[in-house]
Amino acid sequence: MLKAFAEAVRGDTLAIAAELTLRRDSTAGDVLSQADALGRYVDGIQVTDNPYGWVQMSALSAAALLIGHGVDPVPVLSCRDRNRLALESDLLGLQALGVTSLMLMRGHRIPKDHSMPAASVFDLTGRELITLAASMEAGFFIGTGARVFRPGPHWRADSLTARSVAGAGFIQTQLCFNMDILRRYMERFVAARLTSDFPVMVSLSPLPSAKTALWVKKNMGDSRIPDALIKRLEDAGDPEQEGIAICAGLMQEISEIPGVSGVNLMTTGDPEAIPAAIRASGLRSH
């Protein structure tokens, strides 16, 4: 049974996870070629659940392909697209496959002007989904989302504590390129003694252009992207390489922030950008 991701996140060195790049026309060969490219550098590969309402291969199917290839998958399930029956069915399927780690999210409502007309379900809350998964025999290592911000001196993270009680075992932040905000958040996180409940994974991405950064800032409203970073991409002669360099530098900074357990690298559509950023960071020797 693969447990590389859970063991790395609970370990003493910086864990690294990465998202699989999936599209509507992705094949098994696409998944396996990415697994080969990423597997040398990461402790687990996250499989997203129709992000932003874009239809793609199911997380369960992609997880099965990764497990068969000897890679530890971290499927993401959200409450947006499936009711209680469908979510429990998927959890049973993931348990049967031998999946040991999950990211469980409430998910964002599908915008009214979305190109794919579909109803948002939300039969379960995020906390209820965590409780459901934690009740199963698999003993899943369950992740939940967290929003990095500037907490006040009396912040106790009641919502995160409740999700820990429900069964969550690690948290993963939204995209955060603002190290000042992250450091302040982690200072309060450590002071509140939350690290005993939650290892923290910080999300980054090798942004390929200022246009992409602006799209993320507009459409992922809780992302933390400083204007100076966007300007740096605008001024770069090769924005894609600059985005990789920015991501690599921030990975190095994050590795030195007390309380942070790892980094999750979100895809922007180019499967090669993530291993390039990891290599450039120097955090993995392969």
For 117-159, the pLDDT digits (tens) are: 788 899 999 999 999 999 999 999 999 999 999 999 888 899 9
pLDDT score of 221 more than 80: no
With beta carbons less than 8 A apart as the criterion, state whether 56 and 26 touch: yes
Position 52 scores a pLDDT of 73
Spatial CB neighbours of 169, under 8 Å, sequence gap ≥ 6: 6, 141, 142, 143, 198, 199
pLDDT bucket at 45, cuts 50 / 70 / 90:
very high
Position 1 scores a pLDDT of 59
Q: Which of 109, 82, 119, 143 is nearest to 221 (CA)?
A: 109
Alpha helices in 76-122 (DSSP H): 84-97
Integer Cα distance of 89 and 77 in angstroms = 12
For 62-108, the pLDDT digits (tens) are: 999 999 999 999 999 999 999 999 999 999 999 999 999 999 999 87
Instruction: CATH number for 4-280: choose from 3.40.50.300, 1.10.3720.10, 3.40.1190.20, 3.20.20.220.
Output: 3.20.20.220
pLDDT bucket at 53, cuts 50 / 70 / 90:
confident
Domain ranges of the chain: 4-280
